[in-house]
Amino acid sequence: MNPELYEIIMEKLFEAGAIDVYMTPIIMKKNRPANKLSVLGKSVDLETLSEIILRETTTFGIRHYSVERIILDRMFKTVQTSYGPVPLKYGILDGEILKATPEYEVCKELSKKQNVPVMKVYNAALQAGEIIEIK
């Protein structure tokens, strides 16, 4: 399949409710290189997501199966940095904050506006969000 098509297929899958979409390079029978398209979605979206894959790719079939996942509790807070406000997502287990992740797209936009590397904004957001109480 022409790899230029991957982008539009991924866009359509996300628009149709996919939680995540990714490609994995694999070797098929007869040592043929290929990319495996993986789509994570809700079972209620299976028919819609499957139709997009069947219509938009070169595949003749789809394998699907159910999975379960364990996730951290989440909390969201916007922190102030010298570059501007940045939303942070906190991962919490048993009342303990285990990690925090700045919203990348916001960091990227602020880095462009302020003409600084995106990692400066990202790290400033992490530093600003280091001390927080769970409410």
For the stretch 28-47, pLDDT in tens is 999 999 999 999 999 999 99
- Which uninterrupted H or E stretch holds 91? strand 84-93
Give yes or no for a contact between 124 and 104, defined as CB atoms under 8 angstroms apart: no
Query: What is the SS3 assignment for 17?
Result: coil
Give yes or no for a contact between 23 and 36, defined as CB atoms under 8 angstroms apart: yes
Taking the C-alpha atoms of residue 37 and residue 48, their distance in angstroms, rounded to an integer, is 16
- Which uninterrupted H or E stretch holds 27? strand 20-27
Domain-wise residue ranges, the chain: 3-56, 73-128
Note the pLDDT of residue 130: 80
Low-confidence ranges of the chain (pLDDT < 70): 131-135
Classify residue 84 as left (phi > 0), alpha (psi -120 to 50) or beta: left
Half-sphere exposure for 95 (CA within 13 Å, toward CB): 1
Question: Interior CA angle at 93 toward 90 and 95, to 5°?
Answer: 85
CATH topology of domain 73-128: Ubiquitin-like (UB roll) (3.10.20)
Note the pLDDT of residue 135: 47
What pTM, to 2 d.p., does this model score?
0.72
